[in-house]
Amino acid sequence: MKILIVGTGYVGTTTALVFCEKGHQVTGLDVDEKKIRRLQSGQLHFFEPGLDELLKKHLREGNLSFTQNESKAIEENDIIFICVGTPQDEDGSADLKYVQDVAERIGKNLNAYKVIVDKSTVPVGTADKVTKWITQHQEKTVPFDVVSNPEFLREGSALHDALKPDRIIIGHSSEKALHFMRELYKDFDCPFVDTTQKTAEMIKYAANSFLALKISYINELARLCDVLEIEVDDISKGIGLDHRIGEAFLNAGIGYGGSCFPKDVSALLKTAETNHQSLSILEAAVKVNKSQPKYFIEKLQAALGSLENKVVAVLGLAFKPNTDDTRESPSFKIIDDLEKAGARVKVHDPTVKVGSGYTFKQVQTVEECVSDTDAIILCTGWEQYKAIDWVSVRKRVRFPFIVDGKNILNANEIKHAGFDYYAIGKS
C-alpha cells in the first residue's frame, strides 16, 4: 500500500520506518524544511536507537521518501497518517491546531477515496472534527474515511514497541476503512481491536493516565517506605509478581515527565471537567507528581542546610534514558528549584545539548560535572551513570553527597566509597 505520513517527528518517523519494514511504500511530509532535508539525506533529527540504520536502508532501497510537495503527496497515496503534535493548550486541553491544519490541507487536495488515520493522541470526538475539517475544505466531493489508530510506542524503545505492539486499536465507522486497516496491519502478531473512533481515542488517554497513576502510586508509597524504613523496590517486586498488578511502571523516583504523560493526563482531566465529571484519582496523581522533585530537594536541604552558593551536579537532562527529548523533563524542575534556593548548577547529559540562554553550566564529561561539587543529583537513568567509579569521584567532590532521583544506583558501593546516599524508599 502507498502510505503518507504527515509529521515526521518521533511518531511519524518511527511509523514510516515500521511500514517500510513491512514492505509498504512510504512518503514522509513535514512543514519543517530542515527536518525534511535531514531525513532526505539519511540523517535523523532526533536520537532514537535503531532508527538511523533503517532510515538509510529504506532510502537506499527506494521504498521511503520525504517531501514538502503536499498536493502531490496527498494525491498519490492511499492511506494518510496524521502524526503531528498535540501539545497542551493554556487551559490544559489538547491543542488541535496542527491536526486541524493537516485536515484542512488534506481536504483541499483530496482527489480519490482515501483513509485518513489519526495517529496523534487526540481527545474523544476528534475523528468527527477531522471529518468536518476535511469536508469543509474539499474542493471536489470525494468520499473518505477517518480512522482513529492511537500509538503506544515509548521513546527510547520506539522501534521495538512499534514493530511488536501489544495491541493495535482501530476506531472506525466504515467497513471499507476497517478492511484497509486490517490489510495494512496483517503482518503484525498481536490483538487487533476493532472499535469505534471515540473508544479508540479514549483508550489512548486511559492507558497513559493509568501508567502515570501507577508511577504516582509507587512514589507516594515510597515516601511512606522512607519513614517506615522499608525498601520500596521490594514492595514493587512483591506486588508486581501478582500478574494482575505487574512489575512495570513501579519504579519510584523524581516523578514522570516527557512529551506525553503530563499533557495527556491534563487533557483527560480537561475532558472530564468539560463533561461535568470528576477524575479525582488522576488529580491526585498529578499532585503527587508535581511535588516529587521538591521531596528530593528537601532531602538535600536537610543534609546540606542552605543551598546558597552550593555547587550541585545534575546528571541527566533527558526525561528518560535513550532519548534526547527534554520535554517536561523532571531534571529542569530540579534545576529550577536548586537555582531558586541559591545553588549553582552544573549539568551533564550524553545526548542532550542545550543551547545558550540557560543559567546552569553544561559540561561534556561526568568527571567535569561532579568535580568540586557539594552534591550530586542523578535525574536520568542512563546506563553510563550506573557504571560510574564512585571511589574516583569521591576524590573530586567537595562534599560527598548523592541524591539518586531514579533509585538505580548501587547504594552499598556508593556508601563504601564514602558518600552519603539518598534515594526514595531506599536505605
Ligand X SMILES: O=C(O)[C@H]1O[C@H](OP(=O)(O)OP(=O)(O)OC[C@H]2O[C@@H](n3ccc(=O)[nH]c3=O)[C@H](O)[C@@H]2O)[C@H](O)[C@@H](O)[C@@H]1O
Residues that bind ligand NAI (CB under 6 A): 6-12, 29-32, 35, 83-86, 98, 101-102, 120-121, 151, 153, 155, 259-260
DSSP letters along 304-348, please? Answer: HS--TT-EEEEE--SSSTT----TT-HHHHHHHHHHHTT-EEEEE
In the shown chain, the binding pattern of residues 284 to 323 toward ligand X, with x for contact by CB under 6 A and - for none, equals: -----------------------------------xx---
Q: Which triple of cell numbers denotes residue 48?
A: 532514537
Closer residue to ligand NAI (CB): 67 or 410: 67
Residue 281 phi, psi (nearest 5): -65, -35
Q: What is the rounded distance in angstroms from the CA atom of residue 244 to the CA atom of residue 104?
A: 44
Shortest distance, position 76 Cβ to ligand NAI, whole Å: 16
From ligand X, ligand NAI, none, which one binds at residue 12 (CB under 5 to 8 Å depending on kind)? Answer: ligand NAI
> Could you say which of ligand NAI, ligand X, none residue 253 binds, taking C-beta under 5 to 8 angstroms by partner kind?
ligand X
Q: Which of 46, 185, 192, 249 binds ligand X (CB under 6 A)?
A: 249
Residue 28 touches ligand X, criterion: CB under 6 A: no
**Residue 342 is assigned to a ligand binding site:** no
Helix H or strand E encompassing 136 = helix 126-137
Whether 110 and 143 have beta carbons less than 8 Å apart is answered as no
Q: Is 327 annotated as a binding residue?
A: yes
**Which CB, 59 or 341, lies closer to ligand NAI?**
59
Q: Do the annotations mark residue 55 as ligand-binding?
A: no
Rg over alpha carbons for the chain, rounded to the nearest Å, is 23
252 belongs to an annotated ligand binding site? yes
Residue number with CB closer to ligand NAI (155 or 328):
155
Q: Of ligand X, ligand NAI, none, which one does residue 266 interact with (CB within 5 to 8 Å by kind)?
A: none
In the bound state, the residue with its beta carbon closest to ligand X is: 260
* 263 carries a ligand binding annotation: yes
Window of 30-38, 123-131, 251-259, 279-287 that interacts with ligand X by CB under 6 A: 251-259
Least distance in angstroms from the C-beta of 174 to ligand X: 26
In 21-113 the beta strands, taken as DSSP E runs, fall at: 25-29, 64-67, 79-82
Measured CA angle at 191 (ends 266, 205), to 5 deg: 5
Among 98, 217, 261, 421, binds ligand X (CB under 6 A): 261
320 close to 382: Cβ distance less than 8 angstroms:
no
- Computed from CA positions of residues 284, 290, 291, 296, in that sequence, does the dihedral angle turn out positive or negative? positive
| Whole-angstrom distance, CA of residue 37 vs CA of residue 35 | 5
Q: Exactly one of 20, 225, 260, 379 is catalytic; which is it?
A: 260
Q: Is 424 in the site for ligand X (CB under 6 A)?
A: no
Q: Can you say whether the dihedral through the CA atoms of 33, 34, 37, 42 is positive or negative? A: negative
When CB distances are held under 5 to 8 angstroms depending on the partner's kind, the choice from ligand X, ligand NAI, none that residue 84 binds is ligand NAI
In angstroms, the CA 203 to CA 72 distance is 34
Q: Which of 418, 383, 390, 424 is nearest to 404 (CA)?
A: 424
Please give the distance of CA 100 from its chain centroid, rounded to a whole number. 22
Buried b (16+ CB within 10 A) or exposed e, 126-137: bbebbbebbeee
- Choose between 170 and 222: whose C-beta lies nearer to ligand NAI: 170
Residue 123 or residue 425: which is nearer to ligand NAI going by CB? 123
Pick out residues in 367-396 that bind ligand X (CB under 6 A): none
Q: Is 190 a catalytic residue?
A: no
Alpha-carbon dihedral sign for residues 213, 218, 219, 223: positive
144 binds ligand X (CB under 6 A): no
- Which one among 30, 48, 118, 155 touches ligand X, defined by CB under 6 A? 155
Q: Which is nearer to ligand X, 7 or 258 (CB)?
A: 258
Whether the Cβ atoms of residue 50 and residue 159 lie closer than 8 Å to each other:
yes
Q: Which of 108, 183, 184, 117 is nearest to 146 (CA)?
A: 117
Q: Which residues are annotated as a binding site?
A: 30, 35, 86, 121, 152-155, 204, 249-253, 257, 263, 320, 327
Residue ranges that bind ligand X, judged by CB under 6 A = 121, 151-155, 208, 211, 215, 249-251, 253, 256-258, 260-261, 319-320
Active site residues: 260
**Per the annotation, where are the binding residues for substrate?**
152-155, 204, 249-253, 257, 320
Q: Which residues are annotated as a binding site for NAD(+)?
A: 30, 35, 86, 121, 155, 263, 327
